[in-house]
Structure 1
Amino acid sequence: MTTELLLSNARIVLEDEIVHGSVLVRDGTIADISQSTSGKGEDMEGDYLIPGLVELHTDHLEAHYSPRPGVRWLKTAAIQAHDAQIVTSGITTVFDCLRMGSDEDGGFEKGEMRAMADAIADAVREDRLRADHLIHLRCEVSTDNVLEHFAEFENDPQVRLVSLMDHAPGQRQFQTMEQYTLYYKTKRGLSDEAFVAFCKRQQDLSARYAKPHRDAIAASCAARGIAVASHDDATLEHVEEAIGYGIRLAEFPTSFDAARASHGAGMSVLMGAPNIVRGKSHSGNIAARDLASMGVLDVLSSDYVPLSLMHAPFILADELEEISLPKAIAMVSATPARTVGLDDRGRIATGLRADLVRVRRESGVPVIRSVWRQGRRVA
């Protein structure tokens, strides 16, 4: 039986303009967009109607699963809590980040993330979740066991994105020791001697494993058609390396040169929405809004604060003359979807999935009033 939903009297945010009108949904798909309001259907009261947000990089599931050092929460409960916060932030498609590779700096044991992926699949099958969940494998290439962890996902069709990371001191995000010292020595309470030894071990691991592990993982993804992301690129050499690997997504570049070069090479440059909301990076790197004003910011990610993904586009549209609201919304919907090959969503257009969010925003933090995934109300 055909099911229909009419959302009327809305400010509809299309890819290049905002129109006042109605959206007709039929059997989970956008059937019509009209610039008229007949008084029929569900009255949006002039609120914005935007595409469901597409989140490519969030560590939030990990925080629910391991809320304290050494604590592991029930996987299904952690996934449901994560899903609830994600969907009520307007995110209808989320790439759950699972960490590959563990060492003394932390991480999860072999099999843990495979079990988490299985729990996500079970939750989807049991209709426990409201957002559409896919998998992003965050591969710490400088660890000795990353390939063992990665091999557990060899035949998993839910893996749609893989990022290549190296957090060793002197590399990428931590080119200078000031931030690395703050993040590791102070946080971990290490003595000077212990910190020096810790740094040397991390650098030795990176020198030994980073390159061969990057090569192996990138080759596997190319063979399987999985999108690959670089992470924390800092130099033009890093960008050239990414081009060689066929990288589609440049996550969190740490220099203006790397961001410009990545964008110029056709990669989507991703930065954190919390960076936009706070006006700066939490790790002391470049400000995302500076990249937006330069025209080289393509995608935003909520990273560690889900609601920031809805808040940040409005801030960009408010504060930067060159960024319209449709352009800012595309950074959290159409562009991330295209980057990873999800061509059935991310825009309000006929024939696409009816992933929609009703948002009221006069000023400040936007209010998410309703969320639909494939025409089904989920919040």
Structure 2
Amino acid sequence: MLELSLCGAELLLRDGLMRADLGISGGRLTGTGMGRRIDLSGFRVLPGIVDLHGDGFERHLAPRRGAMKDLSAGLASAEAELAANGITTAYLAQFWSWEGGMRGRDFALRFLRALRDYRGTGTDLRAQLRFELFMLDDYGDFEATVAEYGVAYVVFNDHLPHDALNRGKRPPRLTGQALKGGRSPEAHLAMMKELHRHMTGVAPAVAGLAQRLGERGVALGSHDDDTADLRRGWHKRGVTIAEFPETQAAAAEACGLGDAVVLGAPNVVRGGSHSGNASAADLVRDGLCDALASDYHYPAPRQAALILSQEVGLEKAWALVSEGPARVLGLTDRGVLEADKRADLVVLDGEGRIGATIAGGRVTYLSGAVAERFLG
């Protein structure tokens, strides 16, 4: 691992930017410089990005349906993209869903095996499993899988088109979804109708599963809450992370209950939700956000933090992609530039571009003028 002293840069500390030296030794940060000195005058050093929810890895694992047989090669490609975007800890959001294909149970198991065996360049890659509530026959297998692979973060989803099914209408995007899952549209629709029919059995099953997972220390989140009542219901089950709440009311309820709110960084970059939901930037301004996540676009956390920094300051904005997400999942060893923390950091130039990413004391990305400084 590196033994370095980063000198002359502005460090982003809890109280703002400060010019000071920063050491790296044994994969940890040190308060004083050690080893070879790297002059980073004119650059800024910030905590590495902690990404709580991202599915951008999917296109690396399967650029075309069925095209990628060796998932380890896809994980290496995904890690390269993560590093190039300053992400040092990444929760890869993998579905366990009735939708099938890359979102199905079998692919989830392949993914977990590949991730367990993967040896990367330093980025801390972790699994988040997104479980579809209405898969009542899968509850036992899912719970056993969480235990077997040590999955520490589970998010509950419900992507069934209940409104259309209640009205007897053909759900939108049925044909495309069916083909991705390897089914005919008729078979796919029949399966959705059968799952939808078991509405009354879902609530007690979810409550039991959430209680058992929570007792084992698994962090639990809900997805796309659209009402305060829905968020309150999840809170009562011990599900204390609200991912991407769709309304201001749901986000406010989460905060009022002491739950964590995770918003999509692409929403900030776009200037609003692409589906008409609440504006993430507005929720940040209202103090209703603990963390920003990449969602589907790995460049977005850095971009969103820099956009928000114009309004709320760099230390507060960057905390939403570093210290904030680390706190949400209890990662006390990262998210800030302090002695004895994990050596996770990014080096930015004056235009906010990433020149270097260091994860766990290993260089995972190096480019441009910063690379020239490191290479002498």
Same fold, judged at TM 0.5 (above)? yes
SS in structure 2 at match of 1:378: strand
Separation (CA, whole Å) in 1 of partners of 2:125 and 2:177: 33
C-alpha contact 2:55 2:295 (8 A) present in aligned 1: yes
Indicate how the Cα distance of structure 1 residues 33 and 347 shifts in structure 2: closer, same or farther if over 3 A, else same: farther
CA contact (8 A) 2:143 2:209 kept: no
Q: Encode CA deviations 1:85-138: one digit per residue, 9 max, x unaligned.
A: 11111111111222113246972243x3223212112113xxx34311111111
Of all paired residues, the percent bearing the same amino acid is 31
- Counterparts of 1:113 and 1:267, CA distance in 2: 28
Match of 1:37 in 2: none
Name stretches of at least 5 consecutive residues in structure 1 with no aligned partner: 35-39
SS at match of 1:41: strand
1:121 aligns with 2:116: yes
Deviations 1:267-311 (A, max 9, x none): 121111111111121222111011011111111010111011111
Query: Pick from 59, 64, 79: which aligns with 2:60?
Result: 64
| One-letter amino acid matched to 2:228 | L
Q: 1:92 aligns with which of 88, 94, 97?
A: 88
Deviation at 1:71, TM superposition (A): 4.3
The answer on 1:352 being equivalent to 2:348 is no
For 1:97-246, list aligned pairs within 5 A. 97-103=93-99, 107-110=103-106, 112-124=107-119, 128-156=120-148, 158-170=150-162, 184-185=173-174, 201=193, 204-205=196-197, 207-246=199-238
Deviation at 1:359, TM superposition (A): 1.1
Structure 2 counterpart of 1:291, one-letter code: L
Q: Which amino acid aligns with 2:319?
A: A
Q: Which residue matches 2:374?
A: none
CA distance in 1, matches of 2:134, 2:211: 17
Name the amino acid aligned to 1:303: D
Determine whether 1:254 maps to 2:246: yes
Amino acid at match of 2:23: L
Superposed displacement of residue 201, structure 1: 1.6
Structure 2 gap ranges (5+): 180-184, 366-376
Which residue identity is paired with 1:21?
A
Offset at residue 185 of structure 1 (A): 5.0
Shifted more, 216-225 versus 150-159: the winner is: 150-159
Q: TM-score normalised to the size of structure 2?
A: 0.85
Helix, strand or coil at the partner of 1:289: helix
Give the SS at the match of 1:153. Answer: helix
Task: Give the number of aligned pairs.
Answer: 356
Q: 1:22 to 1:236 in 2, by over 3 A?
A: same
| C-alpha displacement of 1:315 | 0.5
Q: 1:87 to 1:106 in 2, by over 3 A?
A: closer
Change (3 A) 1:7 1:235: same
CA RMSD of aligned residues (A): 3.1
Give the secondary-structure state (helix, strand or coil) at the position aligned to 2:196: helix
User: Is 1:80 the counterpart of 2:76 in the alignment?
Assistant: yes
Change (3 A) 1:202 1:239: farther
- Equivalence for 1:265: 257
